[in-house]
Amino acid sequence: MNEITRRKFLSMSLASIGGLALSEPLLANLQFIPEIDNPLDFYPDRDWEKIYRDQFKYDDTFHFLCAPNDTHNCLLKAYVKNNIITRIGPSYGYGKAKDVYGNQSSSRWEPRLCQKGLALNRRIYGPRRVKYPMVREGFKKWVEAGFPRGDDGRPPEKYFQRGKENFVRVSWDEVFDIAAKAMTNIAATYSGKKGKRLLKKQGIYDPDSIEAMKGAGTQTLKFRGGMPMLGITRVFGMYRVANSM
């Protein structure tokens, strides 16, 4: 068997290409493109125009305050089609805003919209969004058991295994009932002299903080105005709840 070297292979390849080029005129298979003066009159299918124009059509719009994970609360405009928010854009309404004294805002803030606001509709319709009330399994069992506590007022650890237990789905009426009962129980447990004694027995609270409570168990309730919750409750909702206790 004859061995074909790299040099011999290249020589044979060049010879073959040359033979093909001589057998037919060079570029004989190429054809001229017919001249078309107006493509819109020539091409029969123009459905692509409908798709292009329908991309930004909408049935309705509404304005809302956006706070995906911050406290800016930008005034944005949502575009709705088939009852679905298809896109979000700036409202261009800051220059029209006035306070009760008639002072008008400046338009220099426009267009006010960040990337989080642009992608907010993806979060709204995303598969990872929690669309119904959920409660930690242990916390729910603690409420159903009647809020059992130890001698120092602490609940048993088996009911508070955060990060280790599942969440269970409940109805809106049930979750409101759980929240109300829990806040009432916590406030009542740590009110008065008995509550003061329990907090001291736990040994984790500064004595001055306990004295500052003045026997009000509602002072032990924590209402954190965190950024995600601020977006839901319109900035000051959590603080208003805290101040009402």
Domain ranges of the chain: 37-129, 134-217
* Residues 146, 147, 151, 153, Cα dihedral to 10°: -150
pLDDT at residue 101 tops 80: yes
Higher pLDDT, 12 or 128: 128
Residue given tokens 């949502």 in the structure block: 78
Predicted local distance difference test score (pLDDT) of residue 54: 83
pLDDT level of residue 182 (50, 70, 90 thresholds): very high
Rounded CA separation 229/245 (Å): 18
Alpha-carbon distance 205 to 195, whole Å? 12
CB–CB of 21/28 below 8 Å?
Answer: no
Q: What is the pLDDT of residue 127?
A: 85
- In terms of pLDDT, which residue wins out, 3 or 23? 3
User: If DSSP codes are grouped into helix, strand and coil, which group holds residue 167?
Assistant: strand
**16's tokens:** 């073959």
Comparing 60-69, 78-87, 212-221, 224-233, the range with the smallest average pLDDT is 224-233
φ, ψ of residue 131 to 5 degrees: the values are: -105, 10
Q: What are phi and psi of 82, to 5 degrees?
A: 55, 40
